[in-house]
């Protein structure tokens, strides 16, 4: 009997580290170190995923069917054959989209309350 995946919204809210991993894989396949670098770069170093956290989350995401190991390899002359590449599954993409929509709704609520336009928030660094 085929196991059915849960409704993506039933997994929300995602832990921040999981969302960052899914977001990192949303535009291309990456190996673990590539995920760590992309997250750190995208967040200006504010979010750093260490190897212990990253690979524990990757294992969990594979088990949950959100990501999978990739058989695709870049040009072997440009890559280390020991690297394992990961990609988002269709289900993982649906979960990432659901979380993005949830964030968007929260931002909309904050805007409706004019929370972002209050003077004390204007001075906050990005």
Percent of the chain, pLDDT > 70?
86
Domains of the chain and CATH, by start:
13-122 (1.10.10.10)
Contact 20, 49 (CB under 8 A): yes
Q: Which residues contact 38 (CB under 8 A, 6 or more apart)?
A: 24, 30
- Mind listing the pLDDT tens digit for each residue in 82-126? 889 999 999 999 999 999 999 999 999 999 999 888 756 554 554
- Mind listing the pLDDT tens digit for each residue in 22-73? 999 999 999 999 999 999 999 999 999 999 999 999 999 999 999 999 987 7
Tokens for 115, please give them: 């929370």
């Amino acid at each position: 009997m085929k196991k059915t995946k849960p409704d993506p919204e039933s997994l929300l809210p995602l832990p921040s580290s999981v969302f960052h991993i899914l977001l990192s894989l949303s535009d291309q396949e990456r190996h673990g170190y590539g995920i760590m670098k992309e997250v750190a770069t995208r967040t200006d170093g504010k979010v750093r995923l260490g190897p212990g956290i990253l690979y524990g989350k990757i294992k969990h995401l594979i088990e949950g069917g959100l990501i999978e190991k990739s058989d695709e390899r870049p040009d072997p002359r440009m890559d280390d054959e020991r690297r394992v590449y990961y990609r988002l599954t269709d289900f993982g993409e649906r979960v990432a989209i659901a979380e993005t929509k949830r964030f968007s709704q929260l931002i909309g609520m904050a805007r409706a309350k004019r929370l972002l336009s209050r003077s004390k928030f204007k001075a906050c660094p990005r």
